């Protein structure tokens, strides 16, 4: 097989006292995402998609929250390691399609900058990343402003 697809998902609660990092970009907001790392749900979903497409497990296998080395780590560092693990397994990420699900803050003004940061972190062109932001129209924990989730699909080609 010369092409594979991986899928990823993540969700984190919003809390006071942390920056909101999405795709490696700091989004202005009064709350940030809780997590062992920087809580970047978008990058965590992309990491899982890349690792899955390369047949390399998931984020918890390589960066367990029980390991203090990863406390507060920038998710861009984990993403670059995931890209490297995929490469070592003979795969290169060629395209990512992702969706961030958040009620607040409104992400439309930041999509372009988040897309650029994500593409740079993966090492692909900005045109090889498609990013969308959706809300739940007030439904559920996301609609109540309690958390943010992200979904990602990564296309990988054999090196």
Q: What is the CATH number of the domain that holds 64?
A: 3.30.1330.50
53 and 145 in contact (C-beta within 8 Å)?
Answer: no
The helix (run of H) or strand (run of E) holding residue 118 is helix 111-122
**pLDDT score at 127:** 98
**Going by C-beta distance under 8 Å and a sequence separation of 6 or more, which residues neighbour residue 98?**
42, 45, 46, 49, 118, 129, 130, 131, 132, 150, 151, 152, 153
Q: Is the per-residue pLDDT at 4 higher than 90?
A: yes
Q: Residue 36: which of 4, 74, 76 has the closest Cα?
A: 74
Predicted structure pTM score: 0.97
Q: Is the per-residue pLDDT at 1 higher than 80?
A: no
- Average the pLDDT over 98-110 and give the result: 97
Number of domains comprising the chain: 1
Span 121-149, pLDDT tens digits: 999 999 999 999 999 999 999 999 999 99
**pLDDT score at 118:** 97
**pLDDT score at 86:** 98
75 and 47 in contact (C-beta within 8 Å)?
Answer: yes
Domain span at residue 108?
A: 3-158
Tokens of 71: 């406390």
Span 67-89, pLDDT tens digits: 999 999 999 999 999 999 999 99
- DSSP 8-state class, residue 31: E
Strands 147-158 and 25-27: unpaired
């Amino acid at each position: 097989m010369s092409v594979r697809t991986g899928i990823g998902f993540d969700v984190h609660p919003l809390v006071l006292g942390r920056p909101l990092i999405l795709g490696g970009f700091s989004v202005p907001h009064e709350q940030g995402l809780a997590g062992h790392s920087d809580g970047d749900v978008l990058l965590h979903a992309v990491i899982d998609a890349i690792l899955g497409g390369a047949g390399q497990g998931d984020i918890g296998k390589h960066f367990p929250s029980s390991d203090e080395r990863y406390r507060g780590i920038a998710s861009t560092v984990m993403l670059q390691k995931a890209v490297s693990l995929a490469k070592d397994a003979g795969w290169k990420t060629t395209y990512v399609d992702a969706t961030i699900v958040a009620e607040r803050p409104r992400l439309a003004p930041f999509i372009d900058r988040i897309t650029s940061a994500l593409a740079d972190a993966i090492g692909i062109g900005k045109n090889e990343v498609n990013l969308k932001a959706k809300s739940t129209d007030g439904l559920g924990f996301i609609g109540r402003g309690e958390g943010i989730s992200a979904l990602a699909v990564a296309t990988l080609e054999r090196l």
